[in-house]
Structure 1
Amino acid sequence: MWRDTIQVGVKNLLLHKLRSLLTMLGVILGAGSVIAMLAIGEGSKREALEQIRLLGANNIIIRSVKPGQGGGGDESSSASQQATSAILEYGLKYRDFERLKATIPTILNAMPIALVTQPAFHNGRNIPNARILGVTPDYLGIKNAQMRHGRFISSPDGHNRANVAVLGAGAAQRLFQFKDPLGQSILLGEDVYRVIGVLSGQGSGNATPGAVGQQDLNDDIYIPIACARTRFGEVQGISSAGTQSFERTELNEITLQVADPKQVSLTAGMVRVLLEQTHPIKDDFRMVIPLELLKRAEEEKRIWNLVLGSIAGISLLVGGIGIMNIMLASVTERTREIGIRRALGAKRRDITFQFLVETVLLSSTGGVLGVVLGVTIPWVVSNFSDIETIVQWWSVALAFFISVGVGVIFGVYPARRAAMMDPIEALRHE
């Protein structure tokens, strides 16, 4: 009986091919849009989450910020300091770094970074305003960076203030193109440095949250921090609108590694209290806590997926209404058929099952075609644009089963209406 009912349902649908296709169109577009929108949203959010994870879930990043740009209200204080002194001094200091390491017991490791902006040259190629970071050997472990060639800065390099440099992947490409930079010399400012290593690419080239200066990490050049302090000093001249000003910043960033991620928030509170005691201008530093950024980004990702899924689900709802409309019309057209089947002994549940089979066939076929469409759209987007898309298995299953569920839900009323017809009145129908 099941096989015969399904065969009759398929035959009835094929009698009106165009109408059946148009009825399925709403389900096809609905299922396809659910998968495609979730894939695009997942791809865009996963890249942002990955960049935050690279900062380290158990890290606390403290960055120097010019007063008045840190979101606080101490701009007048910095202006008065600039008026009374030829040099504006702000930001983190080496004594802050030593004090934090010696005072807070939950800190497992700590790393200072000094930022210098100087032109970089090699055989006619140059980076006009190269970002040169003075770092310690702990940089790789704390920042989760990987070497592509050569080695990173070592403790003897820092002790000897050696003129050695490690290039980011982007800086190596800009200065050397396709040549091997290892052992080559580059000019940073007025000093010559020997390239000892090249880092692997970090991210997709976009600004990384929490990075020094919010710039692309791939274009950075790394030297020993002791060398940066000796060769370039801590005072930089700033030219703007025909005027010359000077700023002094000892450290541009301090990254603290906490032993237990559960203690990150507590440690961050202690760090803030200690720094505020020694910084009269309290907005000359800013704290970035990747763990909190990660939790916030994951929550936004869930909300974003819910919104996208709801918008796409409206298309499935419209498709279900279309199925109900067509099945109600089909019941009216086949009134005499229903009367004959009832007169020959068919029960109400048989009539209900017959029409439910037809609606499920419509919705499931539309769901399969919608899955094909939903998987194809992200593939086209990824191959013809720079947008990353990720199709997840659960979104495919969700779209298909919702399609079938929509068919069942919106097919129950037409099926019950057909089953409740009086056989005598149905046979008299013209």
Structure 2
Amino acid sequence: MATLPSSAARSLDLRYQQWIRDIHLGIQNLFLHGLRSLLTMLGMIFGVAAVVAMLSIGAGARQRVMALIEQMGVHNLIVEARETTEWQAHDKIRKISPGLTFSDYRVILDDVDGIQASTPRKRFTPSKTIPKSQQDVPAVYGVRPEYLQIAGLHVASGRFFNQQEETEGAPLCVLGTAARWNMFGASDPTGQFVKLNEQWFRVIGVVGPQLSGESGASGVSSQDDNNVIYIPLNAAILRLEDSYSNVRDEIDGIYINLRDGADMSNSAHVVRAILNSSHHGASDFSVVVPAELLAEQQRTERLFNVVMVAIASISLFVGGIGIMNIMLASILERTREIGLRRAVGAKRGDILRQFVVEATTISFTGGTLGIVLGFVISRMIAWLAGWSTIVTVSSIAISFFVSISVGLVFGIYPAMKAARLDPVEAIRYE
């Protein structure tokens, strides 16, 4: 009984030594035919690098869009007016619909359950500002104080206006990060004044940076949310007007924040039904449901991952063909070596293991170099194009796993062919 563990240990140690020897022989053979091995690995290297780079671009874009959607608030509903500045189009719509109004807002508050915060919005683009904006003219949002909670804004300095100031239409404003830098540079704007069209407003605060909506994501506004000046809603209505005021809706947006557990889809359905009724089916509005956008983005992400895995399989399949081709050529070159090994006692399993290890070594090395190259390409794309790229652990794991699998699959047939060689005929092979 005492000899069994010792015998099993010796057998395990012998197998371990055989694997180490075969790995050593495989690496030695790679270096012996360095150029050929490198050319064989190129398909694997570029295939893995392309997959890692593409997945990093996709992951960066998805993370940005999903963060932007979450910033919009997964418990929010947003109604946007579809306004036009063309008189003919405006007149045609007005014969059917009154546009987005305070009456719509009040009906929504009465009929939608679970609302804990809400605000209409009146948006302007001033024709002139003092101080003059160094880049794009900031948009002006007339909102109620509840917008701070609904939009998840963080006041970086100063404060936001309160309910009394909104009711009075006080000439106060809060600057977005980009608007602050465009108009005041590095100096503190709190307590200073800005002129919007012909009205002066005192700056009482600055909000922290937000993700820009310039992602092109479906359903997401392209407005740069950092280049915004927030003023009380009544101040926007009473103090500001622009050259297109006569063709604007009474209000151009409604923000609604629902309690946890509220049925977002049902609430959105109710809002659409209310507006379709009051606007007589004019379709001059859109209802944005960030929770639905988030779910759609997650479905798109899963589909994207499936497509990327398919592309990886195709790319690495080509690399696998190269491995099989070079292993078959290697068998022809080493036929006498195989015959000699068989003649001195090597079993078919030993020959099989030797060639499988060599094929796997090629794919392992190619996969490793491909991951490094893919990471470099990802960083270069982020640096040169300014895109957000993220090399994820999953993309590395998928690429590496598939590359090793390709080496095993495409190395088995040549290995089996080598193992089946007749020792006598192999020795006599010229």
Query: Is TM-score (shorter-chain normalized) higher than 0.5?
Result: yes
Matched AA of 1:116 = F
Q: Is 2:185 the partner of 1:177?
A: yes
Matches within 5 A, 1:215-364: 215-232=223-240, 237-238=243-244, 246-260=246-260, 263-280=263-280, 282-364=282-364
Matched AA of 1:134 = G
Tell me how far apart the structure 2 counterparts of residues 210 and 424 of structure 1 sit (CA, whole Å). 70
Matched AA of 2:236 = A
Aligned to 2:22: 5
Aligned to 2:174: 166
Q: Select 2:52's aligned residue among 28, 31, 35.
A: 35
For the residue of structure 2 that corresponds to 1:355, the secondary structure is: helix
Does the CA contact (< 8 Å) of 2:114 and 2:262 recur in 1?
A: no
Distance 1:341 1:105, change over 3 A: same
Distance 1:419 1:10, change over 3 A: same
Matched AA of 2:208 = S
Q: Select 1:54's aligned residue among 59, 68, 71.
A: 71
Distance 1:207 1:369, change over 3 A: closer
Matched AA of 2:357 = V
Does the CA contact (< 8 Å) of 2:213 and 2:222 recur in 1?
A: no
Per-residue Cα deviation, 1:246-298 (whole angstroms, up to 9, x for no partner): 32422111111122456000111111222233223532322111112222222
Q: Is 2:130 the partner of 1:113?
A: no
Per-residue Cα deviation, 1:153-192 (whole angstroms, up to 9, x for no partner): 2112113321100111121112112221110011112221
Tell me how far apart the structure 2 counterparts of residues 353 and 359 of structure 1 sit (CA, whole Å). 10
Q: How far 1:339 moved relative to its partner?
A: 1.2
Does the CA contact (< 8 Å) of 1:51 and 1:209 recur in 2?
A: no
Aligned to 1:192: 200
For the residue of structure 2 that corresponds to 1:346, the secondary structure is: coil
Q: How far 1:2 moved relative to its partner?
A: 2.4
Matched AA of 2:92 = A
Per-residue Cα deviation, 1:169-217 (whole angstroms, up to 9, x for no partner): 1211121122211100111122211001112222146268699974211
Q: Is 2:130 the partner of 1:122?
A: yes
Tell me how far apart the structure 2 counterparts of residues 358 and 212 of structure 1 sit (CA, whole Å). 52
Does the CA contact (< 8 Å) of 1:122 and 1:176 recur in 2?
A: no
Does the CA contact (< 8 Å) of 2:118 and 2:257 recur in 1?
A: yes
For the residue of structure 2 that corresponds to 1:119, the secondary structure is: coil
Per-residue Cα deviation, 1:10-61 (whole angstroms, up to 9, x for no partner): 2222221111111111111111111111001111222122211111112111
RMSD: 2.6
Aligned to 2:11: none
Aligned to 1:422: 422
For the residue of structure 1 that corresponds to 2:77, the secondary structure is: strand
Tell me how far apart the structure 2 counterparts of residues 21 and 80 of structure 1 sit (CA, whole Å). 67
Does the CA contact (< 8 Å) of 1:64 and 1:252 recur in 2?
A: yes
Tell me how far apart the structure 1 counterparts of residues 387 and 82 of structure 2 sit (CA, whole Å). 33
Matched AA of 1:223 = I
Q: How far 1:360 moved relative to its partner?
A: 1.2
Q: How far 1:374 moved relative to its partner?
A: 1.4
**Greater displacement, 414-423 / 156-165:** 156-165
Matched AA of 2:250 = E
Tell me how far apart the structure 2 counterparts of residues 220 and 196 of structure 1 sit (CA, whole Å). 14
Aligned to 1:85: none
Does the CA contact (< 8 Å) of 1:183 and 1:194 recur in 2?
A: yes
Q: Select 2:92's aligned residue among 71, 79, 82.
A: 79
Matched AA of 1:267 = S
Distance 1:122 1:207, change over 3 A: farther
Distance 1:130 1:364, change over 3 A: closer
Aligned to 2:145: 137
For the residue of structure 2 that corresponds to 1:246, the secondary structure is: helix
Matched AA of 2:124 = V
Matched AA of 2:59 = E
Per-residue Cα deviation, 1:387-424 (whole angstroms, up to 9, x for no partner): 11000011111111211111110000000001111112
Matched AA of 1:10 = I
For the residue of structure 1 that corresponds to 2:120, the secondary structure is: strand
Using structure 2 for the length normalisation, give the TM-score. 0.88
Q: Is 2:35 the partner of 1:18?
A: yes
Tell me how far apart the structure 1 counterparts of residues 220 and 352 of structure 2 sit (CA, whole Å). 67
Tell me how far apart the structure 1 counterparts of residues 216 and 109 of structure 2 sit (CA, whole Å). 26
Matched AA of 1:161 = G
**Greater displacement, 377-386 / 392-401:** 377-386
**Greater displacement, 314-323 / 198-207:** 198-207
Tell me how far apart the structure 1 counterparts of residues 226 and 141 of structure 2 sit (CA, whole Å). 12
Q: How far 1:361 moved relative to its partner?
A: 1.1
Tell me how far apart the structure 2 counterparts of residues 248 and 204 of structure 1 sit (CA, whole Å). 25
Does the CA contact (< 8 Å) of 1:89 and 1:247 recur in 2?
A: no
Aligned residues: 412
Tell me how far apart the structure 1 counterparts of residues 384 and 94 of structure 2 sit (CA, whole Å). 53
For the residue of structure 2 that corresponds to 1:165, the secondary structure is: strand
Tell me how far apart the structure 1 counterparts of residues 21 and 89 of structure 2 sit (CA, whole Å). 86
For the residue of structure 2 that corresponds to 1:256, the secondary structure is: strand
For the residue of structure 1 that corresponds to 2:317, the secondary structure is: helix
Tell me how far apart the structure 1 counterparts of residues 246 and 339 of structure 2 sit (CA, whole Å). 95
Tell me how far apart the structure 1 counterparts of residues 220 and 337 of structure 2 sit (CA, whole Å). 76
Instruction: Provide structure 1 residue ranges, at least 5 long, that are not aligned to the other structure.
Output: 70-74, 83-87, 239-244
